[in-house]
C-alpha cells in the first residue's frame, strides 16, 4: 500500500461518485443560465433539471417533491429549522434536543438560549443511547420542537426516531431529525418515521460539496422565518440562485446510494468484521463504542495504547481521532465525554468511517498497521 493514502473518514465527507460527476459536467459547461429566469428557455431547462433532482430525492425518502427545499448543506438546513421555527413562535419557547447532536444543532440552540428560549438537552447512556421516557418527561406546554439526529456522526448510534416521532405527533409537537448520516446506510421513510423536518447533505453520500436539502412536511401550521432576505427562491424560504450542477449531482447521488444500499451495506458489514477480527487475532485490547450502530462506523478505544503519537504514525491513513487535536486543545470530543470516556481514553479513540469505495486490502492494511504500532510501543 506504499505511496497511497487510504481514506477512512467517510463520515466527514466522501469522494464524489464518477457517475455523479459525469451527470454534472453538462451543467458546468454547455447547459447554463439562471434556473429562476422564467422568461426564456435557458431558465426553463435548468429549472426542469432541478425539479427532476427534487423528485429523485423525494422518491428516495417517500416524500413529495414540493416538500424538498435545496440548501447549501445540512448545517444550513438545521439552522433554518431550529431558528426559523423558533422565530415564528408567538407563545411557545421550548426545544428538546440531545447532548450528542451535531455542533450546528447545539450551537443554534445555544444561540436561542442566549436570547431567552428554553432548551432541554437529553443525556445519553454509555452507548450513546437516549431514553425515550426522559423525553416524555421533559415535554411541557411550551415545547414546540424536538430535534434528535437519526444516526450519530461519531459513534454511529441509531436513535429510535420512529418512537420519538409518534410521541411528538401525539403531543402535536414538531419533530426534526438531522439525517446527514442516514441515506445509504439505513432505510429512511419520512412518513413511517413520523417526521415534520429532515436535513440532508450531498457530500456525505458521494455527491458534490456545497449542497443539501431540507424536507418540510406539507401541513398548514408549518411556518419558518427565513434566515436571510433576497429574491424569495425556494418558496420564499431560502433566497439565492440555486447551483444547478450541484443540485443535479445531489439528486443523482441520492438515487445511486439508495438503489445500491443493500449491496453496499452488506459489503461494508463484511469489511467491519474483517477489521475487528484482525484486532482480536493480534490480541488488541479495545472497546467498540456505541450499540445498535451503523456498520459504516467503527469507533474504538484502544485500552492498551501508551503511545501519544499513535495517530501521527498513521500518516498514510486518513481517519478521525477522538480528541480535538486539530484545534490544538487536545480536549476530548464532547460526544466521547458524554458517553463517559475520560481524556486518556478519548485520546486513544479513533473513528474509522468505511465507505463504498474502500477495499478489503485497505481495511486489512489499516488493522494490521494499528496492531503493529501498538505492539511496538507496549
pLDDT given for residue 377 in this prediction: 65
- Indicate if 291 and 166 belong to the same structural domain: no
Q: Give me the domain span that covers residue 252.
A: 18-259
Tell me, yes or no, whether 1 lies in a domain: no
Distance (Å, whole) CA 283 – CA 365: 16
Q: pLDDT tens, position by position, for the chain (378 residues)? A: 555 799 999 999 999 999 999 999 999 999 999 999 989 999 999 999 999 999 999 999 999 999 999 999 999 999 999 999 999 999 999 999 999 999 999 999 999 999 999 999 999 999 999 999 999 999 999 999 999 999 999 999 999 999 999 999 999 999 999 999 999 999 999 999 999 999 999 999 999 999 999 999 998 889 999 998 999 999 889 999 999 999 999 999 999 999 999 999 999 999 999 999 999 999 999 999 999 999 999 999 998 776 566 777 888 999 988 755 444 456 789 999 999 999 888 888 999 999 999 999 999 999 999 999 888 765
Q: How far apart are the first and last CA of the chain?
A: 25
Q: What's the grid cell of residue 306?
A: 501508551
- Indicate if 168 and 133 belong to the same structural domain: yes
CATH code of the domain covering residue 367: 3.90.1150.10
Tell me, yes or no, whether 181 lies in a domain: yes
- Indicate if 162 and 97 belong to the same structural domain: yes
pLDDT given for residue 325 in this prediction: 43
- Indicate if 275 and 228 belong to the same structural domain: no
Residues tagged active-site = 325
Q: What's the grid cell of residue 15?
A: 469522494
The answer to whether 88 and 98 are in contact (CB under 8 A) is: no
- Indicate if 329 and 368 belong to the same structural domain: yes
DSSP readout, 218-265?
--TT-----SS-SS-TTTTTS-S---HHHHHHHHHHHHHHHHTHHHHH
Distance (Å, whole) CA 129 – CA 291: 8
- Indicate if 210 and 333 belong to the same structural domain: no
CATH code of the domain covering residue 106: 3.40.640.10
pLDDT given for residue 176 in this prediction: 98
- Indicate if 69 and 110 belong to the same structural domain: yes
- Indicate if 145 and 204 belong to the same structural domain: yes
- Indicate if 132 and 67 belong to the same structural domain: yes
Amino acid at each position: 500500500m506504499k505511496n497511497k493514502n487510504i481514506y477512512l473518514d467517510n463520515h466527514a465527507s466522501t469522494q464524489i461518485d464518477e457517475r455523479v460527476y459525469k451527470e454534472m459536467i453538462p451543467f458546468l459547461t454547455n447547459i447554463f443560465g439562471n434556473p429562476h429566469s422564467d422568461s426564456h428557455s435557458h431558465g426553463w431547462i435548468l429549472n426542469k433539471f432541478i425539479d427532476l433532482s427534487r423528485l429523485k430525492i423525494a422518491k428516495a425518502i417517500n416524500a413529495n417533491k414540493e416538500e424538498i427545499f435545496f440548501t447549501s448543506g445540512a448545517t444550513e438546513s438545521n439552522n433554518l429549522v431550529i431558528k426559523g421555527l423558533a422565530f415564528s413562535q408567538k407563545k411557545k419557547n421550548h426545544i428538546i434536543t440531545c447532548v450528542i447532536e451535531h455542533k450546528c444543532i447545539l450551537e443554534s440552540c445555544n444561540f436561542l438560549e442566549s436570547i431567552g428560549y428554553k432548551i432541554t438537552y437529553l443525556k445519553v447512556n454509555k452507548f450513546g443511547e437516549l431514553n425515550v421516557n426522559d423525553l416524555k418527561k421533559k415535554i411541557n406546554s411550551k415545547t414546540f420542537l424536538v430535534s434528535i439526529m437519526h444516526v450519530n456522526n461519531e459513534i454511529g448510534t441509531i436513535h429510535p426516531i420512529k418512537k420519538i416521532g409518534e410521541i411528538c405527533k401525539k403531543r402535536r409537537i414538531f419533530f426534526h431529525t438531522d439525517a446527514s448520516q442516514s441515506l445509504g446506510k439505513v432505510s429512511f421513510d419520512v412518513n413511517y418515521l413520523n417526521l415534520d423536518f429532515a436535513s440532508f447533505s450531498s457530500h456525505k453520500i458521494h455527491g458534490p460539496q456545497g449542497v443539501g436539502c431540507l424536507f418540510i412536511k406539507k401541513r398548514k401550521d408549518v411556518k419558518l422565518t427565513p434566515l436571510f432576505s433576497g429574491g424569495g427562491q425556494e418558496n420564499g424560504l431560502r433566497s439565492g440562485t440555486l447551483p444547478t450542477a450541484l443540485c443535479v449531482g445531489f439528486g443523482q447521488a441520492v438515487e445511486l446510494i439508495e438503489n445500491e444500499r443493500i449491496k453496499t451495506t452488506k459489503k461494508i458489514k463484511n469489511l467491519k468484521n474483517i477489521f475487528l477480527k484482525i484486532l482480536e487475532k493480534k490480541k488488541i485490547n479495545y472497546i467498540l463504542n456505541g450499540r445498535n450502530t451503523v456498520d459504516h462506523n467503527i469507533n474504538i478505544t484502544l485500552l492498551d495504547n501508551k503511545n501519544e503519537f499513535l495517530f501521527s504514525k498513521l500518516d498514510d491513513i486518513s481517519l478521525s481521532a477522538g480528541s480535538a487535536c486539530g484545534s490544538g486543545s487536545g480536549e476530548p470530543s464532547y460526544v466521547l465525554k458524554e458517553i463517559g470516556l475520560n481524556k486518556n481514553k478519548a485520546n486513544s479513540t479513533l473513528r474509522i468511517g468505511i465507505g463504498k469505495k474502500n477495499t478489503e486490502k485497505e481495511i486489512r492494511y489499516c488493522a494490521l498497521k494499528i496492531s503493529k504500532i501498538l505492539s511496538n510501543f507496549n
